[in-house]
Amino acid sequence: MTLTSTARRLRRPMIRERRRETWYAIAFVAPAAIGFLVFYLFPAIRGVWLSFTNYDLFSSGEFVGGANYAQIVDDKVFWNALLVTAEYVVINIGLQTAVALLMAVLMQRLAKSLVIRGILLVPYMVSGVVVALLWQWLLDYQIGIVNNALDFVGLPRQSFFGDPALAIVTVALINVWKSMGYTALLLFAGLQAIPKDVYEAAAIDGASEAKAFWRVSLPLLRPVLALVLIVSLIGSFQIFDTIAVTTKGGPVNATRVIYYYIYDLAFNRYDFGYASAIALVLFVILLGITLIQLRITRANKSDLA
């Protein structure tokens, strides 16, 4: 028997084995692939198509070219929605990140207890609808405990959801309350990954706790911070539950954020074509923000490396 024939005889079952493995892989991926094709890929393509039509749920809809996009340019409500969303995102993310950073440092330097981390995470585990209703009660103008407290310290009662100047701030603060524990946990994990000897070196050099934070923790945390910022920013743009339950976009348009505007256009006015066009614009905005943020913060590079 020659060497080549032995090799050939060995290779044939290997090829058969490879082919078998491919069939198994196809069978294993098939259910997920069907789910992906039908409920992710197909609707994404259909969404792009819808944005060029005047589809309204009842008729089949006609191709209208770029009319929807031309309409967006002149749509004051859209620009207002974008502005309100930006306002919400800035307050929400700014405050949430600052508070979460403080919490994370406290978790790391002081209160390492798992129970404390668990407690701070509870609001995040609860539904947005529950949180919205709960805060609407706490902030009730007449008998809400927060307004009672304001009254007690001699401040005027506030119509937190009814005052156009306050409504979006209120919604943003509610969601800071909901998500700060979660963000803190992510940042805490990032802090834990910083080697202890860096802190020891800083302590030997006589750095105070505050100095160690600004000069050691923060710079080394940057990659994690950047990632957390991107993820929470994208989530923040999708604010819906709180507004749908409390203000429904009002007073006037003070809380009509982009997500709620799209929902309103599609499901109250059945303007699916126009709603899809705005949804696509939102998609592009989020994509752009992600790319810019990755670029600026150099998220993939750590100073530890």
Partner 1 sequence: MTTIATPRRRFRIGRAGAWVLVGVFILITLFPFYWMLRTSFSTNGALPSHSNSLLPAEGTLDAYRRVLGLSSVSEALEKGGSTASVDFWLYLRNSFIVAISTTVVQTLFSALAAYAFARLRWPGRNVVFTIFLSALMVPPIFTTLPNFILIRDLGLLNTFLGIVLPNLLMSPFAVFFLRQFFLNISTEIEEAARLDGAGHLRTFFRVIVPMSAAPITTLAILTYVAAWNDYFWPLLVGQDENVRVLTVALGIFKAQTPNGGGPDWSGLMAATVIAALPVVILFTLLGRRVINSIQFSGVK
Span 263-302, contacts to partner 1 by CB under 8 A: 263, 266-267, 272, 275-276, 279-280, 282-283, 286-287, 290
Alpha-carbon distance values, 224 to 25, 137, 241 (Å): 34, 36, 27
Name the minimum Å distance from CB 137 to partner 1.
Answer: 5
Question: DSSP 3-state assignment of 63?
Answer: strand
Do 261 and 248 form a contact (C-beta atoms < 8 A)?
A: no
Binding residue for partner 1, selected from 7, 70, 77, 129, defined by CB under 8 A: 129
137 counts as binding partner 1 under rule CB under 8 A: yes
Residue list 99-128, contact with partner 1 (CB under 8 A): 102-103, 106, 109-111, 114, 116-123, 125-128
Residue list 197-256, contact with partner 1 (CB under 8 A): 209, 224, 228, 234, 237-238, 240-241, 244-245
Cis peptide before 251 (omega within 30 of 0): yes
φ, ψ (nearest 5 deg) of residue 63: -70, 125
Q: Which is closer to partner 1, CB of 70 or CB of 130?
A: 130
Q: Which is closer to partner 1, CB of 37 or CB of 90?
A: 37
Do 228 and 183 form a contact (C-beta atoms < 8 A)?
A: yes
Binding residue for partner 1, selected from 88, 135, 161, 213, defined by CB under 8 A: 135
Give the Cα separation of 90 and 95 in Å (integer): 8
Give the Cα separation of 187 and 246 in Å (integer): 30
From 7-15, 50-58, 153-161, 211-219, give the range in contact with partner 1 by CB under 8 A.
50-58
Give the Cα separation of 104 and 180 in Å (integer): 10
φ, ψ (nearest 5 deg) of residue 194: -75, 125
Q: Which is closer to partner 1, CB of 166 or CB of 189?
A: 189
φ, ψ (nearest 5 deg) of residue 23: -65, -40
Name the minimum Å distance from CB 3 to partner 1.
Answer: 25
Q: Which is closer to partner 1, CB of 165 or CB of 229?
A: 229
Q: Which is closer to partner 1, CB of 2 or CB of 268?
A: 268
Encoded tokens for 194: 């910083």
Name the minimum Å distance from CB 116 to partner 1.
Answer: 7
Name the minimum Å distance from CB 4 to partner 1.
Answer: 25
Do 161 and 170 form a contact (C-beta atoms < 8 A)?
A: yes
Name the minimum Å distance from CB 237 to partner 1.
Answer: 7
Residue list 18-47, contact with partner 1 (CB under 8 A): 18, 21-22, 24-26, 28-29, 31-36, 38-44, 46-47
Q: Which is closer to partner 1, CB of 100 or CB of 168?
A: 100
268 burial (CB, 10 Å; 0-12 / 13-18 / 19+) is exposed
Residue list 141-160, contact with partner 1 (CB under 8 A): 142-145, 148
Q: Which is closer to partner 1, CB of 72 or CB of 224?
A: 224
Q: Which is closer to partner 1, CB of 72 or CB of 279?
A: 279
φ, ψ (nearest 5 deg) of residue 53: -125, 175
Give the Cα separation of 275 and 93 in Å (integer): 26
Do 274 and 265 form a contact (C-beta atoms < 8 A)?
A: yes
Residue list 72-101, contact with partner 1 (CB under 8 A): none
Residue list 166-195, contact with partner 1 (CB under 8 A): 177, 181-182, 185-190, 192-193
Do 187 and 228 form a contact (C-beta atoms < 8 A)?
A: yes
